[in-house]
Structures are given as structure tokens and as C-alpha cells.
Amino acid sequence: MPFKHNNIVETRVLEVRELGGPGKRRWKEILVEYPEISFGPGQFVMIRMDCGPTCWAYPYMLQKRTDQGFAVCAVEHSSLYEAQPGTPLVVWGANGRAVRPGADTVVLSQSATWFLAAPFLEAEPRCRQIVLCDPMDREFLEKNPSVRPVESVEEMARELELTRPGAVAAALNIPVLLKLTAVWDRPQHLPFDVFAATRISCGVGGCKSCYLHSQSIRLGIPVCCSGPYLPYERVDFETDRRCFHTFE
């Protein structure tokens, strides 16, 4: 049973599962023991491999709840990718703002960010996902009936206009996101949340490494507290576009 102290939990990996991904990507599903955790789609946890004081913590999006805790997705070369059942961990969270999808929500992603959309489909299986992909990824993605693979930003925009969603959540690299908003005739009041892939280091707003500029908040937007999914209108992409990580 994990030892809990001031929202920091010493726990362990319960199970590791290999996940297939679009193209040659290799991901693993890591099941972690933490039965008391409470979270919603769009939130994350900070996880540190318990290997001494020099080990850094990294953010992991919460994928789903399990009987004994939660699951996260570890991409190849991430700190958790080599974890094994029984590996000791230090965890704090859930952190950030949950984004509750409805049956008419559409989730946008790319092949490289496909795992970031998974929590929304886990929470609401009726919502749809549109994935910008390479032609070689299409066969893999078409196995899921809720996924619509497209091969251009223009095709993604057409799908959105045909679908007429009630809300949109997007996990897209910034160049793709900005190109989409230039060609998509988005309804003015449509809720539109975007994944802000900044450098999250502490997960609690203290280190300010993830902050974005804001006209209304003097110190800026703490992505780890207010995000990582933020309303599109809150982000100053012209000023902060260099702050965002690119998924490949």
C-alpha cells in the first residue's frame, strides 16, 4: 500500500503493457498503484523514478483509472519507459484542469500525439477523434471506428465543418494548430481547448518553467495548474510559440 504524505505518494509500478502505435512508434502502458487518486480527462501526474535525490520528476497524462490506481502512457526514451513491475515511484497529483468531453466532442491529434487524446475517449467513448497522419499510419488508425484519419490540415478542417462538434480538444503541434485555425471556419462560441506542451517541471506552479504570457495575469499562466489544456483564446502563440515542445 502506498505511503501518503502531503500529497506526495511513494508507490510502485504494478504492471507494464506493450502498446502498438501509429508508424514505428513504441509506447507502453504503465499501471501504477494509487487507489485514492481522483482525476478527470486532461489532468496529469508528476512521476519520479525513486532512484535517489538526483532523479527528476516528469509529467505524465493520466490515461484511465484502474482498480488499484491509474495508468499512464510512456513513450520511447521517456523516464518511465524502462520501468518494470515493482519499480518504486514517487507521485504527486492529479494536477491541472480537467476537460470533460461530451458525446459531441471532437478530439484532434496527430500520429505523434495520439496518446494525448486517449483520456478523452476513455472518459466518453461516444466522442470522435480526427487524427492527422502519414499514409502508412492509416491502416492502424482505421481499426478504431471512432477515429477518422486524415492526411492534410485542409481535410481535418473539412471534417470539422461536416461534423459540427459541440466542443473541440486539440493535441497538435503548434505549426499544425496555427495552420488549422487559418483554414477552419470555426464557430465563434465553440469551446476549443488546446494542449499547451510547455516544460512542466514541478507540477504545482512553483518553479514557473511552464508559464505563458498573459494580458490579464501579471505573472503569466501557470500551465501546470490552469492547463495543460487551455482555451485557445488564452494563448498568445505569437509571443510564446518557442515555448512549446514538438512531438515527433
Considering its fold, how many domains does the chain have in total? 2
The CATH number given to whatever domain includes residue 181 is 3.40.50
Residue 121: partners with Cβ closer than 8 Å, 6 or more residues away:
107, 127, 129, 146
pTM of the model: 0.90
Between residues 54 and 141, which one has the greater pLDDT? 141
| Helix ranges restricted to H, the chain | 114-123, 138-141, 153-163, 174-183, 223-226, 237-240
- Model confidence at 19, pLDDT cuts 50, 70, 90, reads confident
Q: pLDDT digit string (tens) for 74-126?
A: 988 888 999 999 999 999 989 999 999 999 999 999 998 988 988 999 999 99
Within this chain, do residues 113 and 8 fall inside the same structural domain, yes or no?
Answer: no
Q: Which residues pair with 110 in a beta bridge?
A: 132
236 belongs to a structural domain: yes
Report the pLDDT value the prediction gives residue 60, as an integer from 0 to 100. 95
Within this chain, do residues 75 and 134 fall inside the same structural domain, yes or no?
Answer: no
Within this chain, do residues 160 and 220 fall inside the same structural domain, yes or no?
Answer: yes
Say how far apart CA 19 and CA 32 lie, in whole Å.
16
Domain limits at 43? Answer: 3-95
Burial class (CB in 10 A: 0-12, 13-18, 19+), 158: middle
Contact 198, 235 (CB under 8 A): no
